[in-house]
Structure 1
Amino acid sequence: MDALKQGWFSEINELWPGISLSLEVKQVLHRERSKYQDVLVVETKSHGRALILDGIIQCVESDEFSYQEMIAYLPLCSHPSPKKVLIVGGGDGGVAREVAKHPGVESIIQVEIDDVVIAVSKKYLPFMGRGLEHPKLTLNVGDGFEFMKQHKGEFDIIITDSCDPVGPAESLFQSSYFALMKSALKPGGLICSQAGTAWANLNFVQQTLQYCRTVFPICSYGIASVPTYPTGQIGFVLGSLNQQTNFKNPERIFTDQELELMEMRYYSDAVHRAAFELPRFIEKSLRPESIANPPSTSAQSK
């Protein structure tokens, strides 16, 4: 808040010690404490509008599409026939907007716990909030855990678009959550969850991938560039119940014309494959034997 008084918002958090990203702010559009978290929307000078929850940047208009497209299409294009999709979180509407573009998807169920995020996104972030009003979508305000307990074996894909593991999102980064997602999937189903950046939180990425491996026979970790996130990168943990899944090779490849009609700005089949080509130190650290015996480190996990 002190930074805002000087015309800048600075994201300072112990989740990424020693790193801060700052956005020059033209105007504060909305500030509110919901039942779960602090909700802030600002108009930045150079990057459009930004949604900030509990002091952490969630999405910025200039680059949000890279995150939304990748968390949606890495799993969508790894499944041979994704018809029914569950989104947990994603109250800004960006993931729903992207999933709805896939021609094979017939229905989308979304469960978001914070109705304030939904209302604010519809009002101030229409470039994403419009996804919440797509005819394929059924939106529920509630707890994703409780919803999945009541909907066993229903979904082809479950996408978890969560905040970082603080506040209401903390439970989405625990082993019990991966087991619950498995129970809500159809045979051969896939999951994809936001999983942080290895540059700042390698221990957290290792832990999240290990949780996935205890439940799913096929798992992987992919990355995307998002300039306004800490370190400029975000990662995703993916798991599949289908032993034949190869996340590096997409099942569905869209033509350039199809990508244009879908208004895709980041994702392509080439970018899909590249997402799983990791720097050597990350690839080594995520091998099963490395996670079983992680090196000691003073870096904080996310």
Structure 2
Amino acid sequence: MHFIEWYPRGYGVAFKIKEKLFETQSSYQRIEIYETEGFGKLLVLEGTVQLVEQGEESYHEPLVHPVMLAHPNPRKVLIIGGGDGGTLREVLKHKTVEKAIMVEIDEMVVEISKIYLGIDRGAFDDPRAEVVIGDGVEYIKRAEEKFDVIIIDSTDPVGPAKQLFSEEFYRHAYEVLNSEGILITQSGSVYLFTNELLDAYSAMKSVFDRVYYFSFPVIGYASPWSFLVGIKGSIDFEKIDMNRAKELELVYYDPERHETLFQMPKYVKELLEGKLKL
């Protein structure tokens, strides 16, 4: 038995499966949990791989720690999505954090992740954490408090999640950041979602003071996987706080090699910089 997620152009990512542990249809999506042969449990939403238990840090660490370490004092963090709890867990590793709000639209993802995955490792019960069940787009529009860091841990930049990569959404996000703030979003497969990456980059550049892009190899995804970082104020994303980095126990992201994040295929870099057209 196997599970395959098909990407554009006939590219697939496959796992050998021991058994299906759970399947249901929530109000928003089909949720499946599998036991794989070599990577522990697999979370699938609407047919797309969200994470594998053994290796999920290869996604959550680069999504969280580079921006947290680049911000001089990240006290308040907003997470959009991330119902499995992995992003919240990594955010709360930072001692500077006083409050972390996670806004997840599908409560069932949170509950099923608690039962079958447990990758939050107690993060949902941390007194600094607040879980809000609701639409992240609407939350950003109506938010009255300000944040130091915003992390968009959504599904791919296609279909229902596409509005999370729009110029309108980024404008609202920019407004709820403090004067020195930073936003990060995952932005899809470098090779297979190139157009979506370019669109999101263009939308973000029209809003933020500076925008950075980087990639990272993620287990279970059509890697390399892309990430976009928007800066409000004077934060330099190429520089991180190594003193705070030494307090973290990490598996995949290496703060001492932070500069290696910015390696991007030459043609993709030229596309992003407008030197090449598709």
- Measured against the shorter chain, the TM-score band is over 0.9
Tell me the CA shift for residue 270 of structure 1: 2.6
1:177 alignment partner AA: F
Deviations 1:158-186 (A, max 9, x none): 00000013454232121111111111111
Matched residue, 1:99: 91
Matched, 1:186 2:168: no
Tell me the CA shift for residue 133 of structure 1: 2.5
CA contact (8 A) 1:88 1:160 kept: yes
* Residue-pair matches, total: 278
Compared CA separation, residues 203 and 253, structure 1 to 2 (3 A): farther
| CA–CA separation in structure 2 for the residues paired with 1:47 and 1:255 | 27
CA contact (8 A) 1:88 1:110 kept: yes
| CA–CA separation in structure 2 for the residues paired with 1:283 and 1:250 | 23
CA contact (8 A) 1:92 1:129 kept: no
Query: Which blocks of at least 5 consecutive residues in structure 2 are unaligned?
Result: none
Matches within 5 A, 1:147-296: 147-152=139-144, 154-230=146-222, 232-242=223-233, 244-254=234-244, 256=246, 258-259=247-248, 263-287=249-273, 289-290=274-275, 295-296=277-278
Query: Which blocks of at least 5 consecutive residues in structure 1 are unaligned?
Result: 1-6, 297-302
Matched residue, 1:31: 23
Q: What CA RMSD, in Å, does the superposition of the two structures yield over aligned residues?
A: 1.6
Q: Secondary structure at the match of 2:237?
A: coil
CA contact (8 A) 1:107 1:137 kept: yes
Matches within 5 A, 1:4-83: 7-13=1-7, 16-83=8-75
| CA–CA separation in structure 2 for the residues paired with 1:252 and 1:152 | 32
TM score, norm. by length of structure 1: 0.87
| CA–CA separation in structure 1 for the residues paired with 2:120 and 2:259 | 26
CA contact (8 A) 2:66 2:255 kept: no
TM score, norm. by length of structure 2: 0.94
Q: Secondary structure at the match of 1:194?
A: strand
Deviations 1:97-146 (A, max 9, x none): 00000111111011000011001100001123633222210000001122
Matched residue, 1:299: none
CA contact (8 A) 2:157 2:196 kept: no
Compared CA separation, residues 18 and 129, structure 1 to 2 (3 A): farther
Matches within 5 A, 1:101-120: 101-120=93-112
CA contact (8 A) 1:95 1:131 kept: no
Compared CA separation, residues 253 and 205, structure 1 to 2 (3 A): farther
Matched, 1:123 2:148: no
| CA–CA separation in structure 2 for the residues paired with 1:176 and 1:208 | 11
| CA–CA separation in structure 2 for the residues paired with 1:38 and 1:239 | 31
Deviations 1:53-97 (A, max 9, x none): 110000001211011011111211111111000000000000000
CA contact (8 A) 1:206 1:285 kept: yes
